[in-house]
Chains A and B, each alone.
Chain A
């Protein structure tokens, strides 16, 4: 029996990481119908932010180092929210109404982010900064033209059209130029392709003991963190003014727009919020193991499944789906059922089935089969959005 309880506890702690990552995904999907394949990479960015914060705090000395994770959470939130905001403004808002194209575009972004983490150095940072200030460059350029009295509408038009290509070429040129200097400080990759390790602060090592059983503090911390985020999201969505706007746009975009709700702002804000939640999930996964450029990929498909099972527009559906998938995955994969069945004298074929699926990868096979079976009864998830529509 205790086996089962420990299994459930571990499953819940895995499920809560899933929940953190799926929460942002579900809100964004409900609002804009967009699946963000770069969500896993946003988690990875959050994890790397934690790594950087940890290193900075380590140089501050002992009392501060213990608290780094509390600072890492808001910093990771802000960093990934900023990246998400840029992503929405820069790419996704041009693709509304074309969800499949958005899927591919965000995959492209995820590839770029993965390689970015592998090869980021000061040269690339300079290039990115230059690219971000492209509008300033254009402004200066047009001012210069105005001084030379060449400022015609056609010139302005071309200035608009050429900004992004020219800025791209300039940034790439800058990156290559700086890299060509072979300066050790400027061209050394910050993280390289190897995994990085985050040391949990002292007060998160160890665990609570119940008799023979030990529950690690770090997993309890993750569960508490998830609860806080959930409470925060609940308050934000249901009690705040922007939450009201988000809910209204989720229900009916055209009507909300007619009533004066700034849908573009709501989209950008929601996307930033969802990305920020991915960042917090990134902090949580640093407690579970080392982090590499591909870390995000491990969580992302499970997070999608949570969205599919949970349905959109309902926090409760996401919660139940995440915990359910986490617990099933863990219980089946860790072989808890095998030990349970052996002690319970169940028929041999049940035991055989349980043994067959008792590895982490086979547990995924099992949970996928369950999900597909579940979708035969509830195709739109646990809590489908209500409304009159011929479409599902």
Chain B
């Protein structure tokens, strides 16, 4: 009887937690969607929108690094692919038969055939998610199939990033090379993309996307699939011996993560007004990773928090002390890795909250939490003490 009651207790507890989480999310949504546009000037709001777009790719990186233990240094590829897909769609909003101007500069007569479908919005929306996902899937399959992992995987993704960077830089005739694609002066449903009103729409879309991707990642990481990811991170060999094939899980999660990066790249591009191959610089991709580490990997809220925090500090420092920014960033890498391995969220959870509870006397340190909190053992213990009396 006791036991059944406590299970209900547990369910109740988790339900309250869920309510709290939902409440926090709703509050944050109201804050970002309604309050911030009223308070901030256009330029700052655009910045916030870009940070939020980066938060989406951070969620994807958290999925593969925080949960699956694969450190990808090549997410810039998928980010830029999504960005290029959407930017090309915007550039192609022209009367039938015309081509974007830059093509003429290189003497291209006809639109390259693979850009043709990007005239339609539904295709573009699907492509900017699916193409990065497929490329990530192929790369992941070729690497994971051979059980290449750890640092090998990291440096192969980095090399892949450099290769894509070189490729995009070198292909003037296909994608305008180093100049990249500009989006500000193009039109989206008859609205100029650079206008503040259009930008506001993209800002709101970004927030909705953050929410959707957050929910997706939460769903992925909470069930059986999520537990398998964590198992792969902690002991892949054992997962293999238990009868699972980690390869496919890794490929799938890497592809999902790439697709998420694609969404993020599209939203980021449209809010910065341009996409160039520089989005695939080595440092940009590592910055995405470190932002996740600062927030706390293995926690989805940490990924979002860390990205916004790091980017805000970055904007502030590079505006006021450009020389210090690199020193600061380097120090950030060192500090996060040595002193704060679980990031800010991990630190709050493991150190700060525990300390506060202890100081307020609400929590006693437990030697074996699993035993002390198990209702069955507790009820037996009570029974035993009763019997003794």
Which residues of A pack against B, CB within 8 Å?
A: 29, 33-35, 91, 94-95, 99-105, 107-112, 114-116, 118-119, 297, 301, 304-305, 307-308, 359, 361-362, 364-365, 368, 371-372, 375-376, 379, 390-392
**B337 & A95 in contact (Cβ 8 Å cutoff):** yes
**B163 & A94 in contact (Cβ 8 Å cutoff):** no
Asked whether A368 and B142 contact (CB < 8 A) given A103-B154, A104-B333, A112-B331, the answer is no
Asked whether A301 and B341 contact (CB < 8 A) given A100-B154, A112-B331, the answer is no
- For residue B211, CB closer than 8 A to chain A, the reply is no
A119 to B, closest residue via Cβ: B323
Q: Can you add 17 more A-B contacts, CB < 8 Å, to A115-B327, A361-B170?
A: A100-B154, A103-B154, A104-B290, A108-B331, A108-B334, A111-B330, A116-B327, A118-B323, A301-B155, A308-B152, A361-B166, A362-B170, A375-B143, A375-B156, A379-B147, A390-B237, A391-B237
- For residue B239, CB closer than 8 A to chain A, the reply is no
**A107 & B142 in contact (Cβ 8 Å cutoff):** no
How distant is the Cα of A104 from the Cα of B69 in the complex, in angstroms?
14
**Distance (whole angstroms) from the CB of A366 to the closest CB of chain B:** 9
**A91 & B334 in contact (Cβ 8 Å cutoff):** yes
4 tightest Cβ-Cβ pairs between the two chains A and B = A108-B333, A379-B146, A112-B330, A361-B166
List CB contacts (< 8 Å) of B93-110 with chain A. Answer: none
A357 to B, closest residue via Cβ: B170
Q: Which of B159, B163, B326, B334 contacts A114 (CB 8 A)?
A: B326
- For residue B255, CB closer than 8 A to chain A, the reply is no
How distant is the Cα of A33 from the Cα of B150 in the complex, in angstroms?
10
B152 to A, closest residue via Cβ: A308
30 sample A-B contacts, Cβ–Cβ < 8 Å, listed by A number: A91-B334, A91-B338, A95-B337, A95-B338, A99-B150, A100-B69, A100-B150, A101-B337, A101-B341, A104-B293, A105-B334, A105-B337, A108-B331, A109-B334, A111-B283, A111-B327, A111-B330, A112-B327, A115-B323, A115-B326, A304-B155, A305-B159, A361-B166, A364-B162, A372-B143, A375-B148, A376-B142, A379-B147, A390-B237, A391-B237
Interface size on B, residues (CB 8 A): 46
Contacts of A100 in B (CB 8 A): 65, 69, 71, 150-151, 154
**Distance (whole angstroms) from the CB of B295 to the closest CB of chain A:** 14
- Grouping DSSP codes into helix (H, G, I), strand (E, B) and loop, the A interface class, with mixed when no group exceeds half, is helix
- For residue B252, CB closer than 8 A to chain A, the reply is no
- For residue B53, CB closer than 8 A to chain A, the reply is no
**Distance (whole angstroms) from the CB of B135 to the closest CB of chain A:** 13
Q: Which of B69, B146, B158 contacts A304 (CB 8 A)?
A: B158
How distant is the Cα of A15 from the Cα of B351 in the complex, in angstroms?
50
Contacts of A110 in B (CB 8 A): 330
B326 to A, closest residue via Cβ: A115
- For residue B329, CB closer than 8 A to chain A, the reply is yes
- For residue B317, CB closer than 8 A to chain A, the reply is no
How distant is the Cα of A165 from the Cα of B326 in the complex, in angstroms?
19
How distant is the Cα of A304 from the Cα of B159 in the complex, in angstroms?
8
Contacts of A112 in B (CB 8 A): 326-327, 330-331
**B169 & A361 in contact (Cβ 8 Å cutoff):** yes
**Distance (whole angstroms) from the CB of B163 to the closest CB of chain A:** 4
Q: Which of B166, B282, B327, B334 contacts A362 (CB 8 A)?
A: B166
- For residue B209, CB closer than 8 A to chain A, the reply is no
- For residue B248, CB closer than 8 A to chain A, the reply is no
How distant is the Cα of A115 from the Cα of B333 in the complex, in angstroms?
15
Contacts of A371 in B (CB 8 A): 159
Which residues of B pack against A, CB within 8 Å?
A: 65, 69, 71, 73, 142-143, 145-152, 154-156, 158-160, 162-163, 166-167, 169-170, 237, 282-283, 286, 289-290, 293, 323, 326-327, 329-334, 336-338, 341
A373 to B, closest residue via Cβ: B142
**B334 & A35 in contact (Cβ 8 Å cutoff):** no
**Distance (whole angstroms) from the CB of A159 to the closest CB of chain B:** 18
How distant is the Cα of A112 from the Cα of B335 in the complex, in angstroms?
13
**Distance (whole angstroms) from the CB of B27 to the closest CB of chain A:** 33
Contacts of A390 in B (CB 8 A): 237
Contacts of B156 in A (CB 8 A): 308, 372, 375
Max chain A C-beta neighbours (<10 A), residue from B142, B145, B155, B338: B155
Asked whether A361 and B151 contact (CB < 8 A) given A108-B329, A108-B337, A112-B330, the answer is no
Contacts of B166 in A (CB 8 A): 361-362, 364-365
How distant is the Cα of A91 from the Cα of B283 in the complex, in angstroms?
21
Max chain B C-beta neighbours (<10 A), residue from A361, A376, A379: A361
**A104 & B170 in contact (Cβ 8 Å cutoff):** no
Contacts of A375 in B (CB 8 A): 142-143, 146, 148, 156
**B147 & A372 in contact (Cβ 8 Å cutoff):** no
**A104 & B337 in contact (Cβ 8 Å cutoff):** yes
How distant is the Cα of A364 from the Cα of B167 in the complex, in angstroms?
9
Contacts of A364 in B (CB 8 A): 162-163, 166
Contacts of B293 in A (CB 8 A): 104
Asked whether A111 and B326 contact (CB < 8 A) given A297-B282, A362-B170, the answer is yes
Contacts of A359 in B (CB 8 A): 170
**Distance (whole angstroms) from the CB of B290 to the closest CB of chain A:** 6
How distant is the Cα of A301 from the Cα of B165 in the complex, in angstroms?
13
**Distance (whole angstroms) from the CB of B106 to the closest CB of chain A:** 15
**B167 & A362 in contact (Cβ 8 Å cutoff):** yes
Contacts of A301 in B (CB 8 A): 155, 158-159, 162, 282
How distant is the Cα of A118 from the Cα of B325 in the complex, in angstroms?
13
Contacts of A379 in B (CB 8 A): 146-148
Max chain A C-beta neighbours (<10 A), residue from B142, B154, B290, B337: B337
How distant is the Cα of A365 from the Cα of B73 in the complex, in angstroms?
17
**Distance (whole angstroms) from the CB of B62 to the closest CB of chain A:** 14
Q: Which of B146, B151, B167, B327 contacts A33 (CB 8 A)?
A: B151
Asked whether A308 and B160 contact (CB < 8 A) given A100-B71, A101-B341, A108-B329, the answer is no
Contacts of B337 in A (CB 8 A): 95, 101-102, 104-105, 108
How distant is the Cα of A94 from the Cα of B338 in the complex, in angstroms?
8
Contacts of A109 in B (CB 8 A): 330, 333-334
A366 to B, closest residue via Cβ: B163
**Distance (whole angstroms) from the CB of B120 to the closest CB of chain A:** 29
Contacts of B333 in A (CB 8 A): 104-105, 107-109, 111
Contacts of B65 in A (CB 8 A): 100
A106 to B, closest residue via Cβ: B333
How distant is the Cα of A391 from the Cα of B331 in the complex, in angstroms?
34
Contacts of A94 in B (CB 8 A): 338
**Distance (whole angstroms) from the CB of A25 to the closest CB of chain B:** 10
**B286 & A107 in contact (Cβ 8 Å cutoff):** yes
How distant is the Cα of A146 from the Cα of B290 in the complex, in angstroms?
43
How distant is the Cα of A107 from the Cα of B334 in the complex, in angstroms?
9
How distant is the Cα of A391 from the Cα of B152 in the complex, in angstroms?
14
**Distance (whole angstroms) from the CB of A163 to the closest CB of chain B:** 14
**A115 & B330 in contact (Cβ 8 Å cutoff):** yes
**B338 & A105 in contact (Cβ 8 Å cutoff):** yes
**Distance (whole angstroms) from the CB of A310 to the closest CB of chain B:** 12
**A35 & B148 in contact (Cβ 8 Å cutoff):** no
How distant is the Cα of A7 from the Cα of B311 in the complex, in angstroms?
46
